[in-house]
Amino acid sequence: MNQLPDNQRVVVTGLGALHNLGHNVPDLWASLTAGKPGIHRVTRFDTTLFATQIASEINGWNVEEHMDPKEARRNDRYTHYGIGAGKEALKDSGLDMNRENPDRVGVLIGSGIGGMETYETQLKRYFDGGPRKVSPFTIPALISNMCSGLFAIEIGARGPNYGIVSACATGTHSIGEAMHTLRRGDADVMIAGGAEAPITPFAFAGFCNMKAMSTRNDTPETACRPFSLGRDGFIMGEGAGVLVLETLEHAKKRNAPIHAEVLAYAATADAHHITMPDPEGKGLGAAMTRALAAARLNPSDVDYINAHGTSTPYNDKFETLGIKRVFGDHAKKLAVSSTKSMTGHLLGAAGGIESVISIKTIETQTIAPTINLHEPDPELDLDYVPNAARQAAVNVVLSNNLGFGGQNASILFRRFV
Same domain, 99 and 206: yes
Paired residues of 15 in beta bridges: 243
* Same-domain pairing of 178 and 306: no
The pLDDT, as a whole number, for residue 397 is 98
Classify residue 330: in a domain, yes or no: yes
| Catalytic positions | 168, 308, 345
Q: Are residues 191 and 70 in the same domain?
A: yes
pLDDT of 2 over the 70 cut: no
Q: Which of 228, 253, 278 is the last residue of a domain?
A: 253
What per-residue confidence (pLDDT) applies to 6?
Answer: 86
Residues 199 and 270 in one domain: no
When mean pLDDT is compared across 15-29, 271-285, 290-304, the lowest value belongs to 271-285
Residues 242 and 338 in one domain: no
| Average pLDDT rounded to a whole number, residues 188-213 | 97
Cα 39 to Cα 21: distance, rounded to the nearest angstrom: 9
pLDDT of residue 303: 98
Indicate the residue among 208, 231, 253 that finishes a domain: 253
**128: buried, middle or exposed (CB in 10 Å: 19+, 13-18, 0-12)?**
exposed
Q: Is residue 398 part of a domain?
A: yes
What does the pLDDT read at residue 323? 97
Query: Once rounded to an integer, what is the mean pLDDT over residues 207-234?
Result: 97
Do 279 and 184 lie in one domain? The reply is no
Cβ contacts of 48-51, under 8 Å, gap ≥ 24: 50/201, 50/204, 50/205, 50/208, 51/208, 51/211, 51/213, 51/215
pLDDT band of 148, cuts 50, 70, 90: very high
Shared domain for 245 and 271, answered yes or no, is: no
Can you give the pLDDT at residue 243? 99
Whether residue 241 sits in one domain with residue 288: no
- The confidence score (pLDDT) of residue 280 equals 86
340-396 pLDDT, tens digit each: 999 999 999 999 999 999 999 999 999 999 999 999 999 999 999 999 999 999 999
DSSP assignment, residue 147?
H
Whole-model pTM over 0.95: yes
Whether residue 219 is contained in a domain is answered as yes
Does 218 reside within a domain? Answer: yes
Q: Is the pLDDT confidence value at 229 over 80?
A: yes
CATH number for the domain that contains residue 169: 3.40.47.10
**Cβ–Cβ contacts within 10 Å for residue 70, how many?**
8
Domain count, the chain: 2
Lowest model confidence (mean pLDDT) among 36-45, 213-222, 272-281: 272-281
Asked if residue 108 is part of any domain, the answer here is yes
Spatial contact of 405 and 167, defined as CB atoms under 8 Å apart? yes
Indicate the pLDDT class of residue 3, thresholds 50, 70 and 90.
confident
Angle between helices 25-33 and 350-364 (to 10 degrees): 70
- Asked whether residue 2 is assigned to any structural domain, the reply reads no
Residue 360 lies in a domain: yes
**Percentage of the chain surpassing pLDDT 90?**
97
pLDDT at 281: 87
Q: Are residues 280 and 249 in the same domain?
A: no
Give me the amino acid identity at 315: N
Q: State whether 22 and 121 are in the same domain.
A: yes
What average pLDDT does the structure give for the chain? 97
Q: How confident is the model at residue 186 (pLDDT cuts 50, 70, 90)?
A: very high
Q: Which helix (H) or strand (E) holds 407?
A: strand 407-414
Tell me whether residue 245 is in a domain: yes
Residues 286 and 178 in one domain: no
Q: Which domain holds residue 68?
A: 10-253
Q: Which of 196, 229, 253 is the last residue of a domain?
A: 253
- At 245, the pLDDT band (50, 70, 90 cuts) reads very high
What CA–CA distances, in Å, run from 73 to 76, 233, 303?
8, 34, 44
Q: What is the pLDDT of residues 51-93, one digit of tens each?
A: 999 999 999 999 999 999 999 999 999 999 999 999 999 999 9
